[in-house]
Amino acid sequence: MSTKPIRLPSGHPEIFDTMKIEILRMENGESELSMPFLEEYTQHYGMLHGGAIFTLADAACGVAVASVAKEGKKFLTSGMNINYLEPIREGITICRAKVLRQGRIMPVESEVWNSGVCAAKASAIYTLVD
């Protein structure tokens, strides 16, 4: 695994910088991204907000798709579902995603991990657009 974060050839979405999301790995339809626990993304009980977790999962799924999409092809999230399993209270959160089938429509699955515990599982559909 690389020690330096990977940059997308097409450029990073600004939200990656805002939320300190880093790409640790992207290859062959798989990705691994990290995000630090930031107080500004917690809910009123001090746990990481579900929207921040969702954003990390969506980002990881998108990077997995980017690793297999032909250069110059555009794609978007056309649907996504997430199940939250455990709260996230601190540390670095990791999301691993995998493209299940390549084509114009690509299903992707991801798992969000924190402190050795699976905190969420998400499934998404990405669509290539012209």
What ranges do the domains of the chain cover? 14-129
What is the residue whose two structure tokens read 């999962």?
Answer: 57
Say yes or no: domain 14-129 is CATH 3.40.50.720.
Answer: no
pTM over 0.85: yes
Give the contacts of 4 (CB within 8 A, at least 6 positions apart).
none
- Rounded to whole angstroms, how far apart are CA atoms 113 and 94? 5
Q: Is the pLDDT of residue 74 over 50?
A: yes
Give the Cα separation of 18 and 11 in Å (integer): 14
pLDDT digits (tens, 9 = 90+) for 85-108: 999 999 999 999 999 999 999 999
